[in-house]
Structure 1
Amino acid sequence: MSDRLGYVTSETIYLPAVVANGTTITIQTGTAALFAGAPNAATHRTLATLGSGASYAVSGLAQGEVLSVQGYTDFTYQIILSEPSLPEPPGTGVASALVTGTCTGSPCPLGASVSVHAVVWPAAEAVDHWIGYTASEAMFLPSELANGAVISVDSGTAMLFAGFSGSVDHRVLATLSGSNSYVVQGLAPGEVLSVRSGEGFTYQIDLPTPQLPPEPDEDEDEESLASASVSGACVGSPCPYGPSVSAHALVWPSSAQPLHRWLGYSLSSGAYLPSRVANGTFVMLDSGSATLYAGLPTHSNHRPLATLSAGGSYFVQGLASGEVLSVQSSAAFTYRIDVPQMPPVPPGGESMESVAASWRCETFGCNNSPDWNGTVINWPYWSAYSDNARTGDQLRTVYSSSGALLYPYMGPWANGCEVTVTSGTALIVEWQRGSNVWREKWLGPGDTHVINLTAPEDGVLIESDDWQGGFSVSVRNCTPQPLP
């Protein structure tokens, strides 16, 4: 391709994704950067910056994106093009059905009847009702089956919706067409999934095997644990509920590496359990009452999953990546829990690849402030922060290109880490968390830096800007530790 936005280049410098994926670029002399994005996008993301002798195998470009290789000065290169794979012929999936909803109750805001082309779910647990309407087919899939489902549209276009059966407004999860796929996650208990269109389409679905909750432990000798009064002190921003907060809460075992941070508050105990451990957790109350909440640690409003009283239990599933679980009450309660085994800590000393990152402003005063883009080394969620704890529109939370939370801000345990850059260019930032003052150290391939925090410094970030592109490092004497 030789055109992008309103410009026509003198040569064909843009390679479509269907050929670019699988292509290997080798820079023989000079330096060049690889960029990818949609032809009508104002900015393209940096895939890699290559020097003499360096190679890059292109992968992961989305349908419709293009690849270009550019440099400020002359460079020579070698390319090995992939063999383009032809798309599957349309119509290979299951045909959607024309589903009619008849008003059998209240409310019925769309009239006496409504019709739509939709996926009809094969699961016996699928439901056929939405607000006051009863559908001719079971087009609504409960969240316990929908979470983890993979939906592909082979021909036509369809939209995925999620919400409660009694709610008029369902949110849009994705719009699919042309063999695009979507993995469903994050639906709350009680929500349902539907896939609909104004016209017919064909699709394929892969439903997960439902995970059954464990049977309650009948061992009478098992100890019932008491909730704790957990307090939170404002040490950053935002702190919308004043200088301190408190509640009776379930304190998760330290082996599960719970989080001690919510918004700008630092908690006295680990009351927030990350989703990759929380999913599959079983909670039972022996006395009192408590509510289970789920949400992102950077959001003030967490949704209630269930309210339990003595003898009640709940099996946690469907929490999205980056979310946390808490169990809270206004009064003391006792409980028993069964928490899955904590995933292993990534071993130290191995090469670590950077990931593309966006620093997003999410506070009220952002005024549509643009994202900051770059690449970072991402650490286990229990050992690093996802935000920089600064103020105003400088307060930024870090997300991946897929929208998942990243945790690049290392804690005090970073002191003494030896970092060696194995490819690309990296920036080591040593600073006091939340401040506007820091020290920088740029490193190229083969360069080594030993992190030496000087009071009041208590954090480190390993990053690069979006022009420099991806990089990799190896670390020594660097073991992630839980945040204080």
Structure 2
Amino acid sequence: MASRQARSAAVLALGLIAASLSAPAVAVVDLAAQDTPSQQVTWDCTGSPCPWGPSTAGNAAVWSDGTTARYGYTTSVAVYLPAASALGRTITVTSGNASVYAGPADSPHRALAHLASGDAYTVSGLDAGDMLSLQNDGGSFTYTIEAAAPAPEPTPDPTPEPSVEPTPEPSDEPSVEPTPTTEPSVEPTVEPTPTVEPSAEPTPQPSDEPSAEPSVEPTPEPSVEPTPTTEPSAEPTSEPSTTPTVTPTSEPSTAPSADLSSQSVTWTCTGNSCPWGGQLSGNAGVWPDGVSTRYGYTTSVAIYLPAAAANGTTITVTSGSAGIYAGPVDSPHRSLAQLATGEGHAIDGLASDEVISIQNDGGPFTYTVAATVEPSPEPTPSPTPSTEPSPEPSTGPTPSPEPSTEPSAGAGTPSQAVTWTCAGASCPWGDQLSGNAVAWPESTGALSTRHGYTTSAAIYLPAEVANGDTVTVVSGSAALYAGTPTGSHRQVGQASAGESVTIDGLAAGEVLSVQNDGSAFAYVHTSGEPTEPTPEPTPTSEPTPDPTPTTPPDAVVMQSTLALWHCTAFAGCENDWAPWSGGAVSWPSWAAYPNNDRQGSNARTVESLDGETLYPYMGEWADGCEILVLEGDVLVIEWERGTDVWRSTYLSPGDSYTIDLQPGEDGAMIETPDTPTSFTVALSSCTPQPLP
């Protein structure tokens, strides 16, 4: 979570200009190509309609000639730049990332560009009544602003010079933020505006262990403290295309369709539940035989494809990025895959009452749809390799449709889409969830049960088989987890394409899995043959360091507790929103809070898997608490209680950290990093105190 710094922080000394009378005075570097830091901004409701509640906060660029009023809110600094001043300026993000939004003062704003560090965008195509902002809800960033370049002198050359008039089309700068996001911008979604080309450079963001908590369309593993989900869309950037047509037929062609463009879609509340507010928007694939109703909303185009038409198709993203989601019409949806440019996913195994959608809240994308290629029942032997190209395009090595359990190092075996279905009592991640994992051969004795769930494939490899084995990731990335079938699992390795992990040290009774919740991967599994001890000991002048951190003599050792964050905002909330799962250090009831005091579906109360109330939210006494991680992975959050912004610090075994609350912050929590795992920490100078 981003830090909630003092709202009156000074920026650079150069270019000090007084802000408008409706905003506090702020130091701004406006036209010099020098790094300027974003500022913490508060939106306070002073009028109507105030669609985001009484107050919200984020990070934004501040303009000397900007304004502070929009949609019933007054901002603490001038973050909205009128079109007349914005046109022609070039915005470059020099660290962090940020998005450029534009629109009228009292209407939803559209996303013009999503900029990563080093990306630039020149403002064009604004209407006279538009205003522009540069924002990042979740973290700070730095940027430079350059004034518009002077128009070139016309020349008599008969070849016309390119026009310097601003194009009416919004920028198509690629988004670097992964989708789906769980924290929409404080900018609401909008009436879509035309776009010519979709975004082309996504950054996928897979989580570690599967989770059932939805965002707008659920990602497999949200944070224990996810960002608001009241608006799944960020800022739309495209006008619906008139004819995206891909119709699966009874005799489908295996060739992919021509590139189809996503369309800008609006969800309008026309029913009862409507958990995301009155209206929101985003980008999605449109289906000729799709449906347009879900969860009390009616979409402007048919984006939900019934299972009967979806099963047996393969969707490939050709530019931008998108997520594929599935579930019943009136229930939360699970993530089937998060696809970057060139990645595809085969749809299979959907229940008859389910629908799928392909979406990106933050930016447009293009994609193809083809029938999933089945292996030929009558293969034709040939003494020479075929020169015909494969009918199924692939972004990496093309595995056989029926992969061998002993793959060659060059090809790799593809991971499988796996579903976890609750078949027991505890089921901490909800009734069902899905992800991608290695499915082990039957001969290995791999299990398909864990923590009350049954998996659709045997993904849990017994320790006696796993120890000594090596997993090499050929494409994509994956994480390795280990633990007992009924206990929490720890991460024992992680590998990207070309990297290997050798498994060692698993205890008897433990199992190992190789997973990526967000996207598929390919791998090579090499069995570890028993090796003879080396007869020649290799002396070393340096002793092998002890991997176990030394506990300080005055420290208190504490272990996390597996926990569920239950939705308590309104009656029936838990029926609509699955609990978040994770683990945290719990404190005495008089020293910490059992809930986060947030709003809407983000209001959560913490309980153990046995239903006991836990108290993980520390008060101001957390300031100065010294943390040494002994086992497991840890996430420390520092925040202002009840808000949707915080600072995150990730720690591994041996790491140490001292909580240092900043102005405005009044609490902290020591938890797991988005996974229902366990950890052990040694705490010093961390004596609980009574809450105020």
TM-score under structure 2 length normalisation? 0.25
Name the structure where strand makes up a greater proportion of residues. 1
TM-score under structure 1 length normalisation? 0.35
